[in-house]
């Protein structure tokens, strides 16, 4: 077997294969984590309820839009803040919706922590994404 380092296209292909394998292993680890399994179970529980799913989607859409507005320097009106809080509290009263939103948040936090560790290890200057 030749122990010379790979070069050119061979190196690129080898690096991509190694990265793909590592990402696949990371995905498997994430998917077997309690955090992901809780999210998966909560998502399945609400999936059969079209009305609840629509309420969750509407809440998430409003929350996203208001976060974008705020991140862009816009100020949220008291009405926007009230509407978002009202939507959240109505969802929080439903055990399935509450478990779904909480498990989704926990999964997002876990994934963000993984991303921060990758960024830090690679010494990338992209803090504004996290």
Structure confidence by residue, pLDDT tens digits, 29-70: 999 999 999 999 999 999 999 999 999 999 999 999 999 999
Contacts of 49 (CB under 8 A, 6+ apart): 96
Token digits for 66? Answer: 């208001």
**Pair 47, 68: CB distance under 8 Å:** no
Residue range 111-126: mean pLDDT, rounded: 86
What is the per-residue pLDDT across 4-27, written as a single tens digit (0 to 9) for each?
Answer: 555 567 777 888 889 899 999 999
CA–CA separation, 31 and 50 (whole Å): 26
Q: Which single residue is written with the structure tokens 């955090």?
A: 35
What is the per-residue pLDDT across 70-108, written as a single tens digit (0 to 9) for each?
Answer: 999 999 999 999 999 999 999 999 999 999 999 999 999
Predicted confidence at residue 119, as pLDDT, reads: 84
């Amino acid at each position: 077997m030749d122990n010379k380092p790979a070069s050119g296209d061979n190196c690129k292909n080898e690096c991509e294969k190694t990265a793909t394998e590592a990402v696949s292993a990371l995905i498997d680890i994430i998917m077997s984590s309690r955090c992901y399994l809780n999210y998966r179970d909560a998502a399945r529980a609400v999936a059969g309820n079209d009305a609840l799913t629509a309420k969750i989607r509407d809440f998430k859409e409003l929350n996203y839009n208001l976060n974008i507005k705020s991140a862009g320097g816009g100020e949220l009106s008291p009405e926007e803040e009230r509407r978002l809080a009202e939507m959240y509290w109505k969802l929080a009263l439903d055990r399935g919706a509450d478990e779904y939103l909480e498990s989704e948040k926990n999964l997002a936090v876990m994934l963000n922590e993984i991303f921060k560790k990758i960024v830090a290890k690679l010494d990338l200057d992209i803090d504004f994404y996290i």
